Amino acid sequence: MDAATITTGILQIATVLLILALLYRPLGDWIARVFTSEKDWRVERGLYRLVGVDPRSQQTWQAYARGVLAFSLVGVLFVYALQRFQAVLPYSLGLPAVPEGLAFNTAASFVANTNWQSYSPELTMGHTVQLAGLAVQNFVSAAVGIAVAVALVRGFARRGASTIGNFWVDLARAVIRLLLPLALVAAIALVAAGVVQNFAGFTDVTTVSGGTQSIPGGPVASQEAIKLLGTNGGGFFNANSAHPFENPTPWSNVLEILLILAIPVALPRAFGRMVGYDRQGYAILAVMGSIAIVSIAAVTWLESLGLGTAPQLAGSAMEGKEVRYGIWGSTLFAGATTLTSTGAVNSMHDSYTPLGGMIPMINMMLGEIAPGGVGSGLYGMLVLAVIAVFVGGLLVGRTPEYLGKKIGPTQIKLASLYILVTPTLVLAGTALSFGIPAIRADVEATSIWNPGVHGLSEVLYAFTSAANNNGSAFAGLAANTPWLNTALGVAMLLGRFIPIVLALALAGSLAAQESTPSNAGTLPTHRPQFVGLLAVVSVIITALTYFPVLTLGPLAEGLV
């Protein structure tokens, strides 16, 4: 690789890191103020009166969880209905109703903050469904994740309390005070970068060669902004952020990476402020940053090596990558999108080298905690911190406490169940796809375009993406089939809401405790030793769970 390419890549990474560092404190402090303020904005008060919510009332974790589940169920039904009635909606662009199986999969996907797309968006969804259904869910599903994270933080911060906040207030504030203002600014910046924003349908144009091509338009920049800020990932076009209408230039590529990472990186600061201990936020950020740097360096190095017959003959591993971004711009985006729960892509992960393509898969298998999705990354890392504190206490003979809360059998049971949910869904879904003869025959005949070891990797990637609510794909897999639409849809819903309920139960158990003063036997959780322990625990849990299946897929393909 030539020196100019390396220099450009380093400058991209340095720019992203610098801007994130500048945003960390002001954005994190603002998030903390949003969820600790006693004052309601006028528009919020009107909304509370409309839906009959008392903003001063507090909820137990059970009531909070019921609110999350009820709101999300209504979202699934609404998005499903919009798709089924698309043909009679305005701005349908003449597109027919979305078939039942695909409509269920898409509704589950967007409500679960996954944005898995088993279809070509510009040929399947009209503007009304895109705006009223998908874009709206991009806001509220992201807000649900933030609300759950804030509720868990309150569990650590409160003492002897039976409540963890009010879901409806947290939801409204996340949308009105955080996501909407940031999305507005981001959309304007994207339009300035050349991202399309209009209400045009399809425009027929004459190509240079004299042929005719139908060019789609639409309100892309507005959806692109919240797709990235909310770590949603669903593209307006089938090529997602590799499409020039969504991501036209190298600098828009850097901007989109920043939008993906901004809120997840700032949330540890909000955590530190809300628990009254800034160094705890820095410790969590250090773990997230360490894992992210290693991951992005690994995938960039592996793709730069260009291992494999085809890349060696071509001179580089540029298959599936846009020349305007190159390897470094592509792998930086791939790392950001799979280390969070975004799932947007500016290159096709299926075309990465076998070992290079394994890294985005592992990023999702980690639980997307570095820095993770909006909200989900923070509460996932805090659950792992509970486990790390317990393990560390056992190793050195110190009391397992975290932020003044004792980590006992109840907390460990909830944390253990949390980390078992997604591996169970991933491994069970992959096993059923190949273990049941009729399903295997359908998957191999219809879905897998690259048979053999790589075909296993494609199915494994799909269930990993669905259960971890990422949404990216090894694009060689045709997933719009009855089995995959149903199985992936179920995996997305269970992978989203079972961990949420467990995290809220953990919040309730912690909030009910009184504070335990630190003493000589308390394990310090803000020092480098704990940062290292938490990072190791995060990686080992993943390695022990997924290593066997990785040896059958990407490792087997990459080491032959």
Please name the amino acid found at residue 516. Answer: T
pLDDT of residue 268: 97
pLDDT of residue 1: 61
Please name the amino acid found at residue 119. Answer: Y
pLDDT of residue 258: 97
End-to-end CA distance of the chain: 24
Q: How far is 117 from 110, CA to CA, in rounded Å?
A: 9
Q: How far is 451 from 143, CA to CA, in rounded Å?
A: 40
DSSP 457: H
What pLDDT, in 10s, does the model give residues 188-227? 999 999 999 988 877 888 888 888 888 888 899 999 999 9
**315 has a pLDDT exceeding 80:** no
Q: Which residue has the tokens 């004459």?
A: 206
The answer to whether 165 and 150 are in contact (CB under 8 A) is yes
**396 has a pLDDT exceeding 90:** no
- Count of CB atoms situated within 10 Å of the CB of 22: 10
Alpha-carbon distance values, 193 to 197, 249, 344, 532, 542 (Å): 11, 7, 18, 40, 39
**398 has a pLDDT exceeding 80:** no
Task: Name which residue leads in pLDDT, 523 or 180.
Answer: 180
Backbone phi, psi, residue 518, to 5°: -70, 145
pLDDT of residue 393: 84
pTM: 0.95
**46 has a pLDDT exceeding 80:** yes
Q: How far is 275 from 403, CA to CA, in rounded Å?
A: 8
Considering just the CA atoms, what is the radius of gyration of the chain in Å?
A: 23
pLDDT of residue 560: 67
Q: Which residue has the tokens 């849809």?
A: 489
**106 has a pLDDT exceeding 90:** yes
Token digits of residue 469: 């609510």
**31 has a pLDDT exceeding 90:** yes
The answer to whether 267 and 149 are in contact (CB under 8 A) is yes
What pLDDT, in 10s, does the model give residues 266-300? 999 999 999 999 999 999 999 999 999 999 999 99
